Every structure is written in structure tokens, then in C-alpha cells.
């Protein structure tokens, strides 16, 4: 009975370590997947934040829309 307990404990530790090692091997998700999407203030098109143009706390899909929006 005592040996059985030790075996269960050893198995549990090995399984826990194996899971931890497996987790490290997992490839992280591509950076674009978690990227914020923003909406153009002029034409309401959605685009990644990194590709947008920011002006006066607003996002635009292009420099032309930024210009047109700020003129109006
Ligand atoms: Zn736009």
C-alpha cells in the first residue's frame, strides 16, 4: 500500500513536469492575431492599429482620409 502511494506520487510529479515541458514547446500565436483593430473615422473601414494613421485621438485608414476628415 505504501509503495502504491509512492508510485502514484512519482507518476503525478512526472506528469506535471511533462505537461510543463510541453507547454514551453508550444509556439506562441502570431503577433498579428492579438493586434488591435481600429476603425477609420472617415470611412469606418477596419484596419490593424499598426497600419492606421493617428491624429487627434482618431484613427484613419490613409493620410488622405485624415486630411479630408480634419478639413470638414
Ligand atoms: Zn478611411
Question: What pLDDT, in 10s, does the model give residues 30-51?
Answer: 555 578 999 999 999 999 999 9
pTM metric for this prediction:
0.52
What is the 8-class DSSP label of residue 30? P
**Distance from residue 35's CA to the centre of ligand 1 (Å):** 19
**Distance from residue 48's CA to the centre of ligand 1 (Å):** 13
Distances (CA, A) of 1 to 13, 15, 57, 60: 19, 21, 68, 70
Query: 53 CB contacts (<8 Å, ≥6 apart)?
Result: 59, 60, 61, 62, 63, 65, 66
**Distance from residue 51's CA to the centre of ligand 1 (Å):** 12
Burial class (CB in 10 A: 0-12, 13-18, 19+), 66: buried
**Strand, helix or coil for residue 37:** strand
pLDDT band at 19 (very low <50, low <70, confident <90, very high): confident
* pLDDT at residue 54, rounded to an integer: 95
Amino acid at each position: 500500500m505504501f509503495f502504491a502511494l509512492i508510485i502514484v506520487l512519482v507518476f503525478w510529479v512526472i506528469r506535471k513536469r511533462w505537461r510543463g515541458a510541453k507547454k514551453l514547446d508550444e509556439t506562441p500565436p502570431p503577433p498579428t492575431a492579438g493586434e488591435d483593430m481600429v476603425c477609420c473615422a472617415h470611412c469606418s473601414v477596419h484596419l490593424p492599429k499598426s497600419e492606421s494613421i493617428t491624429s487627434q485621438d482618431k484613427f484613419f485608414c490613409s493620410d488622405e482620409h485624415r486630411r479630408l476628415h480634419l478639413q470638414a
